[in-house]
């Protein structure tokens, strides 16, 4: 019996050793990571173990950050507003003179600044890690000059809109968060937001006519694929060619509705 137990133990160590060798060999496989600097795509080659390790590290950073942001927040609205307020305080608009870097969402958080799409990407990703269904997209005027990026977050079964770049959370005249449907039915609700910038010479509120008949799933949501299991399923489906066509995330406003909006 002792001899058999010793054989099993030795066999277990040998198997573990062989698995370790195989993992080390696989980990050295060169893979590519892509990013853009000032909208020029670049590619960097690194070993697989480093890419996977960085991914897992970012995942745990997201979880820890969201845990800190939501500490003491109980209601769903409190939690969503805490995420919005944190994003507004900590992710500043893209400064002029600094490069526009498009890589990982976590790196936007570390840099502390980003373009309109990047700031919304941060809020949407944090909301996903907090357990909310979230997406982001942009509305574009018919002349395709200006873009307004927005984040949609589902709170208790209703979609709500946020603009972390221009620092607006949209509220109904009664004071509660306005739903997507309410803003689509009455775009003047957007005019109640505290910040009303002109975007490419056009009034902020005019962009919201594009919400009519629009569904929240029009946009992107990178939050889920920042997590290990959803990312693994995503990569398998991508490898098998089973992914649906990528959404553009863009909504070009109807010229007639846009021209009527005041």
Pairwise CA distance, residues 127 & 132, whole Å: 5
CA 57, 59, 64, 68 dihedral sign is positive
Residues whose CB falls within 8 Å of the CB of residue 88, separated by 6 or more in sequence, listed in order: 164, 167
How large a percentage of the chain has pLDDT more than 90?
A: 51
Backbone angles phi, psi at 25, to 5 degrees: -70, -45
Supply the pLDDT for residue 113: 97
Supply the pLDDT for residue 258: 47
Supply the pLDDT for residue 19: 62
- Spatial CA neighbour of 100 closest among 45, 35, 53, 55: 35
Could you tell me which residue, 216 or 10, shows the higher pLDDT?
216
pTM of the entire predicted model: 0.85
Q: Tokens 């997507």 identify what position?
A: 180
What residue spans define the domains of the chain?
A: 30-260
The domain defined by 30-260 folds into: C8orf32 fold (3.10.620)
Write the pLDDT tens digit of every residue in 215-261: 766 666 778 888 888 888 888 888 888 777 766 555 555 554 444 55
Under a CB-based contact definition with an 8 Å cutoff, are residues 155 and 77 in contact? yes
Task: Give, for 102, the enclosing helix (H) or strand (E).
Answer: strand 101-102
Mean pLDDT of the chain: 84
Residues whose CB falls within 8 Å of the CB of residue 184, separated by 6 or more in sequence, listed in order: 208, 211, 212, 213, 214
């Amino acid at each position: 019996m002792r001899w058999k137990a010793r054989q099993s133990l030795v066999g277990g160590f040998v198997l573990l050793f062989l698995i370790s060798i195989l993992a080390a060999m696989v980990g050295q496989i060169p893979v590519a990571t892509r990013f853009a600097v000032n909208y020029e795509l670049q590619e960097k080659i690194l070993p697989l173990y480093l890419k996977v390790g960085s991914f897992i590290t970012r995942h745990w950073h997201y979880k820890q950050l969201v845990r800190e942001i939501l500490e003491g927040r109980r209601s769903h609205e409190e939690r969503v507003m805490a995420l919005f307020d944190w994003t507004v305080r900590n992710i500043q608009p893209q400064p002029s003179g600094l490069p526009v870097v498009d890589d990982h969402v976590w790196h936007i958080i570390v840099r502390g600044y980003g373009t309109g799409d990047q700031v919304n990407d941060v809020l949407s990703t944090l909301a996903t890690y907090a357990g909310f269904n979230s997406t982001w997209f942009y509305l574009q005027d018919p002349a395709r000059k200006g873009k307004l990026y927005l984040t949609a977050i589902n709170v208790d079964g209703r979609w709500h809109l946020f603009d972390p770049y221009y620092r607006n959370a949209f509220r109904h005249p009664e004071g509660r968060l306005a739903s997507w449907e309410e803003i689509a039915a009455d775009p003047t609700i957007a005019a109640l937001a505290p910040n009303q910038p002109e975007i490419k010479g056009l009034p902020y509120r005019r962009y919201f006519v594009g919400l009519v008949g629009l569904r929240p799933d029009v946009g992107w949501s990178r939050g889920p694929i920042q997590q290990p299991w959803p990312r693994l399923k995503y990569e398998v489906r991508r490898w098998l060619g089973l992914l649906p066509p990528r959404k553009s995330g863009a909504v070009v406003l109807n010229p007639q509705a846009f021209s009527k909006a005041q």
